[in-house]
Structure 1
Amino acid sequence: MWSRREWIGALGALGTAAALPAAHAEFRVEITGVGATQLPVTALKFRGEEAGGTNLVSAIIRADLERSGVFRFIESNQSIDETGVPAFPDLRSRGSDAVVAGSVTRLADGRFDVRYKLWDVVKGADQGGQSIAVQAADLRLAAHRIADAVYEKLTGEKGVFATRIAYITKGAGRYTLRVADADGEGGQVPLTSPDPIISPAWSPDGRELAYVSFEDRKPVVWVQDLQTGARRRVANFKGSNSAPAWSPDGAQLAVTLSRDGGSQLFLINRDGSNPRRITQSSAIDTEPAFAPDGKTLYFVSDRGGSPQIYRQPIGGGGAERVTFQGSYNVSPAISPDGRTMTFVQRNGGGAFRVMTMDLSSGAMQTVSDTSDDESPSFAPNGRLIIYATRSGGRELLMTTTLDGKIKARLPGPGGVDIREPVWGPYGR
């Protein structure tokens, strides 16, 4: 989809592939806010985790769980690993309901054996554990997977800590498409170019990214395989090609094309064939987003005089306006369960804020407290939203819970613009 900045440009006026080197930008997670109800848990330091380097496994697990907004942490000076038994009376007296502990052991072949166990403190019961053998480069991923397992065991829902995000940076005259862990650390650089790159979009299987590159001296939609680096043009029609969005089954993409004049929504097959026009208006129709059932497209149009969000059945039928409050609403994204929409609204004071809307009732809520937000995107479990913003003179990524009460800042490297984050699906 277009970022809010590109949408402003469209209203007013309208690369080179890399072999997936590592991204070296380091992020620091800063968590703010207090949730209404949080599960008290304890995360003990893993025995031997210093052997894996500076990214300590237990610290990553704790940061992941804190960022979810579901947990608050109870400190303890106990020192056990997965083979021991916690001192449950001490933990109960501190108010902890669960405790996780484990170990990191270097194996003879150079890999690391990461083990953990989770206990129910209230019942004094073993809740199970796991052993994961990984290369040193995958220690962070192992920690994320443990955090996912703990989250699912304690909440009954899947965690998203081992998933990935994609986003764009601009600095030193170059645009970079980056892929990172959900906490912003590690990752890849699939593409860097002196020409603009915008609108990254994950394929449903997480193997490919669609995006728009201007390397052909006009906007063209590309799809890139993240494992091999192979790229292909999928929308290179006359005029502008922009704002790709994958259908839930991955068989097609919705794109904005100006091939017939103006900017209208089309569907194309995943290889770029068989373009079919979806919207019929004299306005700018862009930023398509599929409903989870694949039967409806949400999009932004100025057909009513200002940018608002509409929806339209793919199988035929007219467009229905969704947003009525405010004169500027853009960048829709739909939650995985189809119940909630997040978007950016410009308020009366000129601030751009991330909003949510209950699609059944129309009830809206502001979930950000910054004033220059763009490109909100749901986590695959629908419990968190990531977006880009500016705060205190810094460009950064931020996650928030759906009620806006728990936020995590993921500050990026200085001297670059950070924009258009999109949260990837399960699987990697």
Structure 2
Amino acid sequence: MAAASANAQQNPQVDLIGGRDEALPIAVVPFSGGAGEADVAAVIAADLNRSGHFKSMPVVNMPQKPVNASDIDFKAWQNAGQDFILIGRVSGGLRVEYELFDVSKQTRVLGFAKTSSANAARDIAHQIADDVYLKVTGKPGSFWTRLAFIQSSGTGANARYSLAIADADGYNVRVLDSSNKPLMSPAWSPDGSKIAYVSFASGNSEVKVRNVDGGGETTIAAFKGVNAAPEFSMDGSRIYVSLSKDGDPDIYVIGAGGGGATRLTQQLGIDTSPAVSSDGVYFTSDRGGRPQVYRMSANGGSASRVTFQGEYNADPAVSSDGQVIAVSQGTGGAYRIAVMDKEKPGAQWNVVSSGSLDSSPTVAPNGSMVAYSSREGAGDALHVSASNGRVKERLPVSGRDPAWSNLRKNSP
């Protein structure tokens, strides 16, 4: 497991949005022992809260702080209205033992130990949160994942742009590329080893692919005109892009190592922002007069319109199973993030952000959360909203154009 130091960053600002009472009550008791700057239990609780499916009990309200199973007073936790209780112990270089209990059944439902280097406490905390999420909901968690995004500073001749990555909660930021020319639209490869993005370093837009762990950068699209909006195929062997080399911007596909571009759309108007899922390729098109989201097969062909609510729908993002879709939806001059969960009966679009200029949504691999950028004054902030709309959190890092990685492989 890769070690990552805990950056000293401000505490995230969390807004609780209606319906939060439906979340599952869980008590994440402070773990005994220490793990340097990172509070393992606090990171776990924040992760679970962010998903919108859990509501962690404030530490000050806990009736007791058990360290071992024998210390738990289940009656006290039942009276406190908790469904689950998580306890743990930190020791050694970094060994974390944790146990999850069902309060009503008074039984342990999960218990493991994880070890790693001393500076990887946040990694272990995210992994434990994923384990709890899977055990309780039956679906994999998305906490031990990463976000790629663009940061910028200065103006005019002093402007600087950076391609950066961070943990999904905004901590452990690392810059991969920096330029005095614009960078935009990062996209992860399925295995998390590479990022495709757009660079204007040469003076014109180019699509590049960079290794996340350093070394190796490849230009895969530098055609005349627009080279934009890269997105890896499900197996990572190809990259979808928007190119204008033959006229209006259309969706093309190129081998992940470069080569010729195969055109997939040929309608009048602008086709851009491809988003890949198991049920095809979603993209933005104004072929009907206004930007709306359409879907076609992975190899092109006829496209069907997906969005009908709102004057403007763009920047589609889709969970890997195609069940959760997010778009930037514009109505009456305001642009907010709307989400549809197709698994829900009578699925409909649900607005989950509250800014006036929210854009560039990206969906967590399991569909539980959506990250996006929001204009705040002269800058851009990164936010995460639960897909069910119950929670909205401003991440402790600035940036725009976020892209969510796939699930990382857990350590043994």
Gaps of 5+ in 1: 1-20
Once the two structures are overlaid, the 10-residue window that deviates more, 149-158 or 314-323, is 314-323
SS at match of 1:261: coil
Matched residue, 1:9: none
Matched residue, 1:85: 71
1:278-336 residue CA offsets vs partner (Å, 9 max, x unmatched): 1113322111112324xx32211222222222222344532323223333221011223
Does residue 170 of the first structure (1) align with residue 152 of the second (2)?
A: yes
Matched residue, 2:401: 420
State the AA in 2 paired with 1:132.
Answer: K
Structure 1 segment 310-325 matched on structure 2, within 5 A: 310-325=294-309
CA contact (8 A) 2:171 2:396 kept: no
1:91-115 residue CA offsets vs partner (Å, 9 max, x unmatched): 122121211111211x3xxx21122
Against the structure 1 CA distance between its residues 313 and 128, is the aligned structure 2 distance closer, same or farther, given a 3 Å change threshold? closer
Question: C-alpha root-mean-square deviation of aligned residues, in Å?
Answer: 2.3
Q: Give, in angstroms, the shift of residue 184 of structure 1.
A: 0.6
For the residues of structure 1 that align with 2:5 and 2:128, how far apart are their CA atoms?
23
Matched residue, 2:355: 370
CA contact (8 A) 1:292 1:334 kept: no
1:68-97 residue CA offsets vs partner (Å, 9 max, x unmatched): 111223332523324643121211221212
The size of the alignment, in residue pairs, is: 395
Matched residue, 2:258: 272
CA contact (8 A) 2:198 2:205 kept: yes
SS at match of 1:319: strand
User: Which of these residues, 63, 67, 87, is aligned with residue 101 of structure 1?
Assistant: 87
CA contact (8 A) 2:265 2:301 kept: no
Once the two structures are overlaid, the 10-residue window that deviates more, 198-207 or 91-100, is 91-100
CA contact (8 A) 1:267 1:275 kept: yes
1:312-371 residue CA offsets vs partner (Å, 9 max, x unmatched): 2344532323223333221011223313321011112x0111112466977322221221
Does residue 333 of the first structure (1) align with residue 317 of the second (2)?
A: yes
SS at match of 1:229: coil
Structure 1 segment 47-86 matched on structure 2, within 5 A: 47-49=32-34, 52-74=35-57, 75-82=61-68, 84-86=70-72
User: Which of these residues, 25, 28, 35, is aligned with residue 43 of structure 1?
Assistant: 28
User: Which of these residues, 116, 120, 133, is aligned with residue 134 of structure 1?
Assistant: 116
CA contact (8 A) 1:25 1:412 kept: no
For the residues of structure 1 that align with 2:5 and 2:216, how far apart are their CA atoms?
17
Matched residue, 1:399: 384
CA contact (8 A) 2:371 2:402 kept: yes
Q: Give, in angstroms, the shift of residue 424 of structure 1.
A: 0.8
Against the structure 1 CA distance between its residues 326 and 97, is the aligned structure 2 distance closer, same or farther, given a 3 Å change threshold? closer
Once the two structures are overlaid, the 10-residue window that deviates more, 95-104 or 83-92, is 83-92
TM-score, normalised on structure 1? 0.86
For the residues of structure 2 that align with 1:223 and 1:358, how far apart are their CA atoms?
31
Once the two structures are overlaid, the 10-residue window that deviates more, 319-328 or 273-282, is 319-328
For the residues of structure 2 that align with 1:335 and 1:225, how far apart are their CA atoms?
23
State the AA in 2 paired with 1:334.
Answer: V
State the AA in 2 paired with 1:64.
Answer: D
State the AA in 2 paired with 1:125.
Answer: T
Against the structure 1 CA distance between its residues 262 and 162, is the aligned structure 2 distance closer, same or farther, given a 3 Å change threshold? same
SS at match of 1:63: helix
CA contact (8 A) 1:31 1:66 kept: no
For the residues of structure 2 that align with 1:168 and 1:23, how far apart are their CA atoms?
21
State the AA in 2 paired with 1:426.
Answer: L
SS at match of 1:318: strand
User: Which of these residues, 195, 198, 202, is aligned with residue 216 of structure 1?
Assistant: 202
Against the structure 1 CA distance between its residues 25 and 81, is the aligned structure 2 distance closer, same or farther, given a 3 Å change threshold? closer
SS at match of 1:152: helix
Matched residue, 1:355: 338
Against the structure 1 CA distance between its residues 362 and 273, is the aligned structure 2 distance closer, same or farther, given a 3 Å change threshold? farther
TM-score, normalised on structure 2? 0.89
Against the structure 1 CA distance between its residues 35 and 392, is the aligned structure 2 distance closer, same or farther, given a 3 Å change threshold? farther
Against the structure 1 CA distance between its residues 315 and 54, is the aligned structure 2 distance closer, same or farther, given a 3 Å change threshold? closer
Of all paired residues, the percent bearing the same amino acid is 40
Q: Give, in angstroms, the shift of residue 372 of structure 1.
A: 0.9
Structure 1 segment 140-179 matched on structure 2, within 5 A: 140-172=122-154, 173-179=159-165
Matched residue, 1:204: 190
For the residues of structure 1 that align with 2:254 and 2:237, how far apart are their CA atoms?
9
Gaps of 5+ in 2: none
Q: Give, in angstroms, the shift of residue 27 of structure 1.
A: 4.8
Against the structure 1 CA distance between its residues 354 and 153, is the aligned structure 2 distance closer, same or farther, given a 3 Å change threshold? same
